[in-house]
Structure 1
Amino acid sequence: MLSRTADSLFWLGRYSERAGNVARGLGATLRMALLAEPADGAEREWRALMVAAGCEHGFRERHEAAAHEAAIHWLTLDPANPSGIAASVESARRNARSVRTALTVDMWEAINDTWLEFRRLDSGAIKGDRLPGFLDWVKSRTLLFNGAAADTMLRDDAWRFTQLGTILERADNTARLLDSRHGAFAPDVSADAACYAHWQAVLRSVGALRAYQHVYHARLDPRRVAELLLMRTELPRSLLSCYARVERTLQTIANANGGNPGECQRLAGALHAKLRFGRLDSILDGGLHGFLTGIIDENITLGQEIAARYLNGKNA
């Protein structure tokens, strides 16, 4: 496969996943902002979401405070935010168009129809009672694309690079989301109503609230929430599950292209091993923030190594 084709497929997966992640996080933050006390609590919630989305720096350059309307617009319709929904939809469609012949009809229609509908939206789509419906629509379009890929793509290199981008973006989002609320997972945290709301918001942001109830059959507990999102193989958005798939996908790509895995394979294996053989108590006692910061940095390095080995870097 040509490196420019692999690059477009990889970033198609990443941008499509990013749009859905921002929509999920925004939905959870809306609930938290309504409950936030004192008065500056709502602003902290919006900043936490932008930290999780990796776009806080750009927002601060344009806005002094994370006001409700400004934060929502920045995360949804503002094309200047490369991590926002608008830019993600545009970039996903641009990459899909450049490799249209590598996609199935269902995949192309899912991406192109989303782009066309998005272009018809006006600013009223994110105001008042219309915002939850808009966020549900974005999530459903991401699920439609992922489902089309899973059901219709040949399991060849095109599939593998699309999945690689999707999974790497998912791992980054889970790590950033947990890190943005790491204080609620400290070993000595008191289980008050505010912390309970934080744990619930984290689970809602990855669509895992019902999964938690199914796995643990218990009230929310910070240790169990952290375990679910870090180390449970059953949850497709857990870090362990994501890096197991990244390592497996990279190995399959290497086997199909000469068998030499390269540095990216070693890094993926190291991340997988860190989570597979790590101890949750040690992670929490040593500081969840430091652990997740390391994961985020290693994830960035892993993406760079994948690009250096297989991609041409036009989307970087």
Structure 2
Amino acid sequence: MLSRTADHLYWMARYTERAENLARLLDASYQMSMVPQSLAAQNENWRAILDLNSLESAFAKIGGEVNAENVLRFMVADTDNPASIYSCLRAARENAHAVRGTLTQEMWESVNTTWIDLRQKSVEYILAGGVSEFFDWVKLRSAVTRGVTFGTMLRDDAQHFIRLGGLLERGDNTARILDMQYHILRNGDEGASDFYRWGALLRSLSAFQVYRKVYRDAITPGRVAELLVLRMDMPRSLHACADGIVRMLALIANSASAETLRKAGVLHAGLHFARIDDIFAGGLHEYLTDFMDRMYELGEGISHDFLVPAGAD
């Protein structure tokens, strides 16, 4: 496959998954903001979203207080913010358009319809109608695109690059969401609202019902982390994402990709044989930070081995 085509497919998937995961993160924070707490604590949680995405400076340039409405406007619909949901879905559509001939008709229609519908939703409309409804729409549109991809595309290198991009983005964002929300929850006040907060975190990753099915018990920090980090059968867990990345890299391997595949294999093996008690002993934050660093390194390796070099015509 031409590296330019692979590049567009890979980034189409990453931007689609990024928009979905951003919707999940913002929805979790919005739901948690409904729990009784001081205004300062609420605003600090919204500031954590900016910090997590390295957007403190960009947000400061537009002015305004760090609060729910301003951060939501910035992260949902700001056209100048490259990390907003609007910008991610625009980039996904642009990449899809560049390789329209490689996509099935259903795939193109799904991506294009998402973009057309988004352009009809003003930020005032979104805020007035309830942001959770909008976030559900983003997640649904991502699921539709993913479904038609698996259901209509030939299982060749084109689909492998799409899956690779989605898995890399999903693993990174699951770690980010867990790291931020776990820190907030562990440093908050224990009490009646604790169950609601943990439940909101699990729901943000479509894991609440899965947790109930697996553990059938009260929600505890250790089990939440175990589910989202180590459970191979949990679709959004770090383990499941790493497993999928190794399989996709093996399918598209070329003469330059052996080292990237080795690093992915080492990461996967570490998750496969890890124990949650050992992870907590070394610090969950430190473990998740190391995981995110490794995912970034894998992304750099994939770009070098398969995709269009930076600055290429």
**TM-score, with normalisation over the residues of structure 2?**
0.93
Q: Which residue in 2 is equivalent to 1:161? A: 161
Q: Is the 8 A contact 1:22 1:53 kept in 2?
A: no
1:200 is matched by which residue type in structure 2? G
Distance 1:245 1:315 in 2: 29
Distance 1:308 1:176 in 2: 24
Distance of aligned partners of 1:183 and 1:118 in 2 relative to their CA distance in 1, 3 Å threshold: closer
Number of equivalences: 312
Q: Which residue in 2 is equivalent to 1:307? A: 303
RMSD: 2.2
Q: Which residue in 2 is equivalent to 1:149? A: 149
Distance 2:307 2:71 in 1: 33
SS state at 2:121 partner: coil
1:280 is matched by which residue type in structure 2? I
Q: Is the 8 A contact 2:185 2:197 kept in 1?
A: no
Q: Which residue in 1 is equivalent to 2:128? A: 128
Shift of residue 118 of structure 1? Answer: 1.3
Distance 1:222 1:181 in 2: 11
Distance 1:235 1:39 in 2: 35
Q: Which residue in 1 is equivalent to 2:10? A: 10
1:241 is matched by which residue type in structure 2? A
Q: Is the 8 A contact 2:4 2:307 kept in 1?
A: yes
Shift of residue 56 of structure 1? Answer: 4.3
Q: Is the 8 A contact 1:11 1:315 kept in 2?
A: no
Q: Is the 8 A contact 1:125 1:131 kept in 2?
A: no
After TM superposition, list the pairs within 5 Å mapping 1:221-236 onto structure 2: 221-236=220-235
Q: Is the 8 A contact 1:185 1:222 kept in 2?
A: no
1:106 is matched by which residue type in structure 2? E
1:311 is matched by which residue type in structure 2? L
SS state at 1:65 partner: coil
Structure 1 segments unaligned to the other structure (5+ residues): none
Q: Deviations over 1:186-236 (max 9, x none)?
A: 6x9985345434422321211111111111111111110000000001111
Structure 2 segments unaligned to the other structure (5+ residues): none
**TM-score, with normalisation over the residues of structure 1?**
0.92
Distance 1:280 1:126 in 2: 39
Corresponding residue to 2:286 among 286, 290, 313: 290
Q: Does 2:246 align with 1:250?
A: no
Q: Which residue in 1 is equivalent to 2:23? A: 23
Distance 1:314 1:105 in 2: 30
